[in-house]
Structures are given as C-alpha cells and as structure tokens.
Amino acid sequence: MASASNMDEGVKVDGATVLARALKAQGVEYMFGIVGIPVIEVGMAAQAAGIKYIGMRNEQAASYGASIIGYMTGKPAVCLVVSGPGLVHALAGLSNAKENCWPVIVIGGSSEQDQEAMGSFQELPQVEAARPYCKFSARPNSIERIPFYVEKAYRQSIYGRPGACYLDIAGNMVNATVNEKDVWSSIICPPPPKSFADPESVKVAADLLYYAEKPLVIVGKGAAYAHAEAAVQELVIGAQLPFLPTPMGKGVIPDDHDLCVAPARSKALQEADVILLLGARLNWMLHFGMPPRFNPKVKIIQVDICHEEMNNNIKAAAMLVGSLDTVLNQLNEEINRRPGKFAFSKAAPWWKTLKGKIQQNQQSVQKMMSDKSVPLNFYSAYEDIQKLLPKDCIIVSEGSSTMDISRTMIPNSLPRHRLDAGTYGTMGVGLGFAVAAAVWCRDHAPEKRVVCIQGDSAFGFSGMEIETLCRYKLPVIIIIMNNNGIGFGMDDDSWQSLSESTDLTLTSPPTSLMATAHYERMMAAFGGNGYFARTTEEITKCVSAAMSKQQVSIVNVMINPMSMKKPQDFFWLTKSKI
C-alpha cells in the first residue's frame, strides 16, 4: 500500500533515509555499528532521523551491544555492519541473541543487485549466512518496500519468543532515490499481545505448589526480560517459597532475601519435589532437568512464552504457556482463592536442611574471604570490591572464575542489572554490553553506574572498546581480575623463567597470558584513569577513586594465577553426570 496521497509527487528520497525513517517509526532508539562501504550514509541517515549512533571498534562488540539493549528494554536496537566480513563478525552477536532470546536487528550492506554472482566486492550469500542464527532473514527487493521489511523484522524480534533478525541492504539501494509518495507506508508494530495460560493448567500448577513438601521456584532471565518482578515477588514472598535465581535472573527478587537458596543450589535441585520454572529452560545450565542433579521424581511446572519449550528434555507436570507476568497473575489469583496454608513452611525439615547447607557453604566462603595473603584469591578481592559498589549499579561480568565467583560475591538487588555470558556462554561480550548499558543509563537513569568486571582473557576480546567509552564519555568502571591466563596462568617467576625459552610457542601453556600485564596503562592513551592493585587495601583505594570520578577507569587487580573457584553448590557451569 502507498503512503498518504497528498505527498508531493516530485519529492525524492534515498534508500538510506527510507531505512532510517522506517526504523525510527518502529521505535528504534539506538544503532551500534562500524560503517564503511556501502553503509556510511545509513549511519548518517539514522542520526538525521533521531536514532543515536554508537560507533564501535569491532562488529562483534557492536552486535553484543545492540542485543543487550533488547534484553534491558524489550525493544530491539540495530547493529549496522558492512558487507562480507562485517556481517561474519556480527554473526557472533546474532547467534548469542538467538540463544538468549533477545530482540536485535542486524542490518548489513551487501553487493549491488546487478553484480550478484559476478564476484563483486565482499560478495557473500548474507541472507543465507544469517538465517541459522535468527528468526527472520531477508533482503528487500526495492527501496519502496524497505519499511515493510523493517516492520516485519521488528515484529518478529519481539513477538513470541524474542530473538534476532537480519536485513540485507543492497549497496545500490543506499543512495538511489525514489518518489517519496511510492514508499510503502507500513503499520507501526504494537507491543506483543499478552497471552494467558489454560485455566485448568493453572489450577494443576496451584495444586502442585500447594501440596508440595519441598517446593522450589527457579527464576530465569525470562522473568527479568518480562518485567515480571512484581508478580514473581507476590508469589514467592506471599507463599514463602524457596527460590533459586539463574545468573541473569538475579535481582528479580533481591539476592539477599532470606528465601534465596542460591548457596544451597545443588541440595535444592536434588531434593525438590516440585519445581516451578519461571522463564528458565531445562538446558545445560539446569542440567537438562535430569538425575542425578534433579530428583528423579520431581514434578516440574513450566512457565514459558514458547509452546515448543514445553516437555523439552522432561515430561512436565503442568504446562503454562503464555506471557510470564500474565500467567503469574493467574497463578497468584488461583492461590489466593485457596483457604488454609501451604504444606510447606519454614518450620519444615527441608527448610532447615537448606539453611544448614547455606550456612555451611557461607562458612567455607568466609574462610577464603579472610585469606588476605598476596597474591589475592578471588573471594578476598571481591569482598572489598562489593562493599564499594552501589546497590543499584549495573554489573557486567564475564570470564571463567571471574564471572562465576562474582555471581556469588556481587549480589544484585534489582532485575536486569546483571549482564553476563548467558545461555551461550559467550566470552567477549563484556565491553559491548558495558557500552550499551552506559549509553542507556545516560539517557534513562543517569544516576546509575555501570561496572564491568572481567578476567584478563575476557578483556582482551574487545579491549579497544575502551576508546569507544572514552570517545562518548561513558563513565564505566572496568575491573580486571588478572590471573595471567585463560582460567589460570603462571606466576611472575615461572613466566620469567619460561620466557627465556627460545620458542614460547612450544613451551608456554595454552592457558597462559603475559604475567602481570599492566592493562590499566592503556587508559593513558584515551584520557581515562588507570589503577593497579595487589592488596585489599589497594583495591579499596583504587575502586573508591574510580567511583568518585565520572570518567572511564580501569582497575587492574592481580589475582593468584592458581586461585580457582571452589567446587561449591552455587557453581553453575558444571556438567551433568547423565
């Protein structure tokens, strides 16, 4: 269908402007990318349309940044890349968004239409290359129809199970012009419709919870994405049910709530007789719902937006398909109609068992925290860091022990305030996430700080994004937990002895990085602040100094290369023995 007939038939508009206006009309607020032939004009047109453009240093980081906006807001941001290698790099963010179920739209420039199959510049079958990693992948067949494809990509990214979409823009479409009156006038995509679960299934779920002797609620990042914290808290706190947050489900209910059983994770999973899954999937992160990690007789209630997720890897006792906040409201209403008390209470033996396990693990952690010997272990370093961080700051965390231990040591009080490797276990997301979170905070919550806690290996994936942070004056604090390696490394003396070898490619362990690398000195190149800490006293001094300034800072904290996470109950990244 054509646009309004009263438009001047003589007015011409180019493809870049048509694309930018269509994105803006759908509500796109941010565009991350790296421009070059043939998409430079698209970036300019986006700015002219009022879309904020954030120029990154690597397409991977750009795609990660755009995707985390989708998680935080429920609306897709755009990642703009050049043809061929540019899209290949961005496939990292597409696949990560797909696995995490986050809305994002990647737009790639591509070869000109009349040069297809001729060996044109950076020619690649981009629509097909992107298709396995997204919900919708297409190439508009004309400038006039670009808004049609934009609306469809936007809608596909947020409806049903959210995810990634790709649009391919032929190079010759960017600057070519058409009559403005002929441009497709597409509808503005409304918010996703709310869907209710089957009322009979809701009653079954309520019965299961009501009579459970060992209930457990698992709060997934789907609950955070759905902004369902009020309904989750009404259920969990109202019924006094033990809950276990997944890594990015942290903060839906504050971690410090006395119903949180994260420190007794293994015990809770192994013994629960009824488990309510709220926006969490029974994949590798939850050991597929199978023994021995789960009670073989456990009855599982699944709440998910996606029909196909039901009975995945297990046979569910109740299936509640629908919008999570809506379904929880149904469940809360059903429970509130019931007289009397739940079978489970805090006087139950199982609750005492969980509390005993929590105290046991906390004592073990306390022992590691009290060890202040240099080089520091992760726990002693985190003890001082967490005391200095505001409760409402957004935590970006990635790295092996760095990320896993931070989930224990750095609590979250608010939803969507922990951004980490997620379902795909992707390393390299940290600085892309941090840039995006800081841009969003500047526009919507300027009082919040963004703190990016990374291992030294994780920092290396996108370290040059510190220039992006400084260029846009985004006051992110980067804390590098530096153990000289990937997972673990070598101490200074061992590295020095090894470095005298004639061929380090044959003698340096694959996990090792340079010992005591001074990453903080990179900040001098861009006008930020760099700090180096070996002791807990130095950590307090350095983090306090970074927090006091509205500038980009790196705090490089040296960690014992052999400091590892304790094999404890709240370690997520363990394989199921099935």
Mapping DSSP onto H, E and C, the string for 87-105 reads HHHHHHHHHHHHHHCCCEE
Nearest to 248 by CA among 270, 277, 223, 265: 223
Rounded Cα distance between 530 and 542, Å, is 9
What domains are there in the chain, each with its CATH number?
Answer: 12-182 (3.40.50.970), 199-355 (3.40.50.1220), 371-558 (3.40.50.970)
Which amino acid belongs to residue 543?
A: V
Q: What is the DSSP letter of 519?
A: G
Q: Provide the CB-side half-sphere exposure for 556 (13 A, CA).
A: 19
Residue 200: what are its φ and ψ, rounded to 5°? Answer: -65, -35
* Per-residue pLDDT tens over the stretch 476-512: 999 999 999 998 888 888 888 887 877 888 888 899 9
For residue 8, the model assigns a pLDDT of 53
The count of other CB atoms within 10 Å of the CB of residue 233 is: 18
Which amino acid belongs to residue 197?
A: A
Burial of 505 (0-12, 13-18, 19+ CB in 10 A): exposed
Measure Cα distances from 8 to 11, 176, 183 in Å.
6, 18, 12
For residue 577, the model assigns a pLDDT of 35
Burial of 58 (0-12, 13-18, 19+ CB in 10 A): buried
Which SS3 state, helix, strand or coil, does residue 62 take? Answer: helix
Structure tokens at 203: 């009653």
Rounded Cα distance between 208 and 53, Å, is 50
Max CA pair span of the chain: 80
216 forms beta bridges with 275
Residue spans of the chain under pLDDT 70: 1-9, 115, 118, 121-122, 565-578
Helices of type H across 146-228: 146-158, 171-175, 199-211, 221-225
For residue 572, the model assigns a pLDDT of 41
Task: Judge whether 221 and 317 are in contact, CB under 8 Å.
Answer: no
- Sign of the CA dihedral with 543 first, then 545, 550, and 553 last: negative
Rounded Cα distance between 259 and 522, Å, is 43
Which amino acid belongs to residue 126?
A: Q
Secondary structure element (H or E) that encloses residue 276, with its range: strand 274-278
Rounded Cα distance between 519 and 21, Å, is 41
Structure tokens at 19: 């694309």
pTM > 0.75: yes or no:
yes
Task: Judge whether 231 and 329 are in contact, CB under 8 Å.
Answer: yes
Measure Cα distances from 147 to 33, 104, 183 in Å.
20, 17, 8
Rounded Cα distance between 279 and 244, Å, is 12
Task: Judge whether 102 and 157 are in contact, CB under 8 Å.
Answer: no
What's the length of the chain? 578
Alpha carbon 493 to its chain centroid, in Å, reads: 38
The count of other CB atoms within 10 Å of the CB of residue 390 is: 12
Task: Judge whether 76 and 155 are in contact, CB under 8 Å.
Answer: no
Is residue 561 reached through a cis peptide bond, with omega within 30 degrees of 0 on the bond before it? no
